[in-house]
């Protein structure tokens, strides 16, 4: 995905990237102190070949403030690893509320990390959006309608700026009042991973 600026409309070209592209580091609410914790890949894994692998790789939750930590591994079913289900206001590995949530246009606007915020801002801020490759898991076609409407553009961009600011903060007192469980889960799609490997 990329955005281009010129003297004409602000342009965004969708390259068909998945939400998984932004799942390498997910900022969540710490289960112990309520501050910001990080969910990342477990250290020492082989180099990533495809972003979709991020749905299966072992994860670690860590909080720099209070020292909380936890480990996650994908379940195994029928000889394959069961994919985490991305989407919604709950992080899919440890089921923690996302740290980056804010109330916006009568809804909750969320993101996984600062890079995700930047990608959303480039899309929402564009006045000319060029369609993607038709990839079935592409992120931008799956965004809620209200985030794409021109009438909400200024409000959504302001919400994304709040999320960008939150991404730089970590204390429990910095937590957004929207960053709690909403019962908002991704739709299951049952992907499994059969490639052999050390994880």
Q: What is residue 129's predicted lDDT score, i.e. its pLDDT?
A: 65
Biggest CA pair distance of the chain: 55
Percent of the chain with pLDDT over 90: 67
CB atoms within 10 A of CB 78: 7
Range 87-95 average pLDDT: 95
DSSP string, 29-81: E-TTTSSEEEEEEPTTPPPP--GGGGGTS-EEEE-TTT--EEEE---EETTEE
pLDDT higher than 50, residue 4? no
Residue pLDDT, tens place only, 110-168:
999 999 999 999 989 987 766 665 556 688 888 999 999 999 999 999 999 999 999 99
Q: What is residue 78's predicted lDDT score, i.e. its pLDDT?
A: 87
pLDDT higher than 70, residue 53? yes
Higher pLDDT, 144 or 180: 144
Pairing of strands 76-77, 69-72: unpaired
- Using an 8 Å Cβ cutoff, are 100 and 143 in contact? no
Average pLDDT of the chain to the nearest whole number: 86
pLDDT higher than 90, residue 50? no
């Amino acid at each position: 995905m990329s955005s281009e600026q010129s003297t004409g409309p602000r342009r965004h070209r969708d390259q068909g990237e998945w939400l998984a592209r932004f799942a390498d580091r997910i900022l969540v609410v710490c289960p112990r102190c309520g501050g910001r914790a990080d969910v990342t890949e477990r250290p020492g894994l082989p180099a990533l070949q495809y972003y979709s692998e991020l749905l299966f790789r072992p994860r670690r939750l860590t909080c720099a403030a209070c020292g909380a930590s936890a480990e996650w591994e994908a379940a195994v079913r029928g000889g394959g690893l069961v994919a985490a289900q991305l989407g919604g206001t709950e992080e899919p590995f440890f089921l923690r509320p996302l740290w980056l949530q804010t109330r916006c246009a009568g809804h909750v606007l969320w993101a996984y990390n600062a890079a995700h915020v930047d990608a959303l801002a480039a899309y929402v801020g564009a006045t000319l959006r060029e369609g993607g490759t038709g990839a079935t898991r592409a992120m931008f076609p799956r965004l809620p309608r209200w985030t794409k409407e021109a009438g909400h553009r200024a409000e959504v961009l302001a919400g994304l700026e709040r999320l960008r600011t939150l991404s730089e903060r970590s204390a429990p007192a910095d937590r957004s009042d929207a960053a709690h469980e909403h019962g908002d889960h991704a739709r299951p799609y049952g992907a499994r991973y059969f490639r052999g490997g050390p994880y």
